Each structure stands twice: as structure tokens, then as C-alpha cells.
Amino acid sequence: MPRVYISIGSNVNAEANIGAAIAALKKSYAELTLSTVYKNRAVGFDGDDFLNLVVGLKTEQSIPDFVEHLHCIEAAQGRARNTEKKFSSRTLDMDLLLYGGDIFHSDNISIPRDEITRYAFVLQPLFELIPDYYHPVEKCTIAQLWDSFDKKEVTMVPVEVAESLSTG
């Protein structure tokens, strides 16, 4: 059963929406591993700060089925994917980053997700959870990616969250 990692973010009622997402994941998947929750500025648009984290879990679902499950969780928290601009406020954003060591590409899914190498709010929490994971496309570890990441624009701050959020 592959170990998968997903990013979760929100800047609209963030703690409640992320808490609901973690609760939904906990119902479907036995054991979750959660990174620190980070607060950071919106990227690509002017908006409220986001809360972001990375969650690891095991699943037997295929990549398309797992992504569809994430979309259902997002929709339950009020996300309307087909009406949103790419860079805008989000009730909930859940993206599959890694699926075991697989490389997968379809019309709307790319694994490993390219945001891993582009955004600190994805890479830093991933580094926290799996520094020794070997990125199958970049041909280096997550720790090496984080070490070489340009951190001068990083605005992330670890935040304390409700106990229910941190334990799922």
C-alpha cells in the first residue's frame, strides 16, 4: 500500500476548514502523519494569509480515485473548482503531492506535483516529514531540495492550532 503525501491549505475560515479536511481523512485512512501548520502570505494574488500543512497517509486507492476523494472533501467545505480563478482565496485546497515513488501524468494530474519544488509552503512541511525521500523526477532528496531552495522570500511562520486540528 503506497504512502502518499498531500498538501492542505486554506485562507477562508482556515482552521475550521482544515480541521474538517483532517477529520474526513481520518475517517477514511487509518493513520495520518501531520506536519507543522504554517501561516504564510497568499501567493499569486492579494488575499488573506493561508494556513498550510502536509499530511501523509497510506491508501489502496488509485491516483485518480484518491484525487477524486480529495475533491469531494474540498467540495464538502464549499470549494467550487470550476468557478475559481487559479490564484484566489480558498475554503480548502488539497493536492496530491507524492504517491509512493510513482511518476504519473494525465490531463489534470501530475505526480510528483511540481509545486514541491516551487513553493516553500509545500516543500518545508514535506521536508519536515520525509527529508530522506528521493524525488523520482528531481533525482535528489527532499532535504537536498530544501537546502537549495531560495529562502529569501519565504514568509512562513509556524502556528499553534486547536488540539483537534493537530491530532485529526
Predicted pLDDT of residue 152:
87
Residue 83 has pLDDT above 70, yes or no: no
pLDDT in tens, 10-49: 999 999 999 999 999 999 998 999 999 999 988 776 788 9
3-162: CATH topology: Alpha-Beta Plaits (3.30.70)
pLDDT in tens, 106-129: 988 999 999 999 999 999 999 999
Nearest to 66 by CA among 32, 39, 29, 23: 29
Nearest to 77 by CA among 4, 21, 151: 21
